[in-house]
Amino acid sequence: MDQLAQTLARIAADMAAAPDLGRVADYIPALARIDPAQFGIAIVLADGSVHVAGDADVAFSIQSISKVFTLTMALGKAGADLWQRVGREPSGSAFNSIVQLENEQGVPRNPFINAGAIAVADVVLGRGDPREAIGDVLRFVRALAADADGPDEGIVIDREVAASEAVTGHRNAALAHFMRAYGNMADVEGALSLYFHSCAIAMSCRQLAMAGRYLMAGGINPATGHSVVSAQRARRINALMLTCGHYDGSGEFAFRVGIPGKSGVGGGILAVVPGVASIGVWSPGLNARGNSLRASLALEQLSEAMGWSVFTAR
């Protein structure tokens, strides 16, 4: 894996030298003061080896990346019935747009736009208590990231970020109420609380790459050998990440990088090369579409250098 080590070193150097850092999301106060110069990357290969560069062990707010984990939980709970409540098509509009919801009678286009993720949170919550559900999500992510020592207790929920979102998240509240009006939301307050807290999970690139292994490995957590989801479901989650994982920049990401990925406004991206690698990348500054500028660039270089695009003729 000399090639990977060299590639990572070069990418980290390039990113440190990148003139444009992008813009840190400022609508969540707790995120607005993050130092935009940070950059980290961690890669877990199929053989279990871990490769890192930069600030790979600095915790950041995963934000919308959490949607991958809550979707996985909701599918486990509701199975294919979930798709009665959420679509599977790219949205063609901003991540927090409400226009689409009205045009399609309260059914969000996919589970990775905000409305869709709130509906997914409602499924995960069921008739349960939001506090317990939040604990369940956290435990699930910790277990996904587990190593030989067990669940990764270093993964936590950043209470300040969660509170900050609850205060500023009026648009998400509008989405939830709107879906409620269409009968596609059981517990507005509970689902929003679960959504805000899931988005406020803080973890490092290394932890994120560990947590994403099941999507690399056909649904199996390599640490335990246990199946998290079926192989078919893992493929399908990857497909959704490729077509919808970067909001209205998903097509661009597929075009340039060619790997399933899910971004968050905290600047992180979880990317998956099926059968090959699970990748966590983070740099706080965002591009115009709300995706991390340097994390996207790093993944483009990585994919090109390693031939990791799923569209590569092998």
Residues serving a catalytic function are 64, 67, 195, 247, 265
Residue nearer to a copy of itself on the CB measure, 55 or 300: 300
Q: Quote the least distance from Cβ 189 to a copy of itself, whole Å.
A: 11
245-274 positions binding a copy of itself, by CB under 8 A: 248-252, 254-256, 258, 260, 274
Contacts of 274 (CB under 8 A, 6+ apart): 215, 216, 218, 234, 235, 238, 260, 310
Query: Does 181 help bind a copy of itself (rule: CB under 8 A)?
Result: yes
Query: Does 233 help bind a copy of itself (rule: CB under 8 A)?
Result: no
Determine phi and psi for 56, rounding to 5 degrees: -70, -15
Burial readout 194-213 (b: 16 or more C-beta within 10 A, e: otherwise): bbbbbbbbbbbbbbbbbbbb
Residue nearer to a copy of itself on the CB measure, 101 or 299: 101
Query: Does 224 help bind a copy of itself (rule: CB under 8 A)?
Result: no
Query: Site for a copy of itself (CB under 8 A): which residue of 28, 175, 286, 295?
Result: 175
Residue nearer to a copy of itself on the CB measure, 32 or 181: 181
| N residues, the chain | 314
Query: Does 189 help bind a copy of itself (rule: CB under 8 A)?
Result: no
Contacts of 224 (CB under 8 A, 6+ apart): 146
Q: Quote the least distance from Cβ 278 to a copy of itself, whole Å.
A: 11
Stretch that binds a copy of itself, among 12-20, 32-40, 116-124, 234-242 (CB under 8 A): 234-242
Contacts of 103 (CB under 8 A, 6+ apart): none
Over the window 116 to 155, marking each residue x when it contacts a copy of itself by CB under 8 A and - when it does not, the resulting string is: ----------------------------------------
The CA distance from 112 to 272, in Å, is 16
Task: Kindly compute the dihedral angle of the four CA atoms of residues 230, 233, 237, 239, in this order, to the nearest 10 degrees.
Answer: 120
Query: Does 43 help bind a copy of itself (rule: CB under 8 A)?
Result: no
Residue 203 pairs in a beta bridge with 60
Determine phi and psi for 181, rounding to 5 degrees: -60, -30
Element (H, E) at 53: strand 50-54
Over the window 95 to 114, marking each residue x when it contacts a copy of itself by CB under 8 A and - when it does not, the resulting string is: --xxxxxxx-----xx----
Q: Is the distance from CB of 249 to CB of 289 less than 8 angstroms?
A: yes
Query: How many residues belong to the site for a copy of itself (CB under 8 A)?
Result: 62
Sign of the CA dihedral with 191 first, then 194, 199, and 205 last: negative
> Which residues contact a copy of itself (rule: CB under 8 A)?
46, 87-93, 97-103, 109-110, 170-171, 173-178, 180-181, 188, 216-218, 231-232, 234-236, 238-240, 242-244, 248-252, 254-256, 258, 260, 274-276, 304, 309-314
